[in-house]
Amino acid sequence: MPPRKTGHAKAQSFPAPNHDHAACATDALARAERLCRARGVRFTEIRRCVLKAIWQSHAPIGAYDILAGLNAKGARHAPMVVYRALEFLQANGFVHRVASQNAFIGCAHPDEGHDSQFLICRKCGTVAEIANAAVSTALANAAPGFAVESRTVEISGVCPHCKDHSHA
**Contact footprint for Zn ion (CB under 5 A):** 15, 21, 24, 107, 121, 123-124, 129, 159, 162
Query: Which residue's CB is nearer to Zn ion, number 69 or number 152?
Result: 152
The C-alpha atoms of residue 107 and residue 93 are separated, in whole angstroms, by 7
Rounded Cα gap, residues 118 and 137, in angstroms: 16
d(Cα 58, Cα 80) in Å, to the nearest integer? 24
CB of 3 to Zn ion, least distance (A): 25
For residues 132 and 151, give the distance between their C-alpha atoms in angstroms, rounded to a whole number: 11
Q: Which is nearer to Zn ion, 15 or 62 (CB)?
A: 15
Q: Which helix (H) or strand (E) holds 95?
A: strand 95-98
Smallest distance, Zn ion to C-beta of residue 1, A: 26
CB of 78 to Zn ion, least distance (A): 28
What residues contact residue 84 under an 8 Å CB cut-off, 6+ apart?
none
Minimum Å distance from CB 89 to Zn ion?
A: 12
Closer Cβ to Zn ion, 42 or 123, answer by number: 123
- Given the complex with Zn ion, which of 67 and 106 has the nearer CB atom? 106
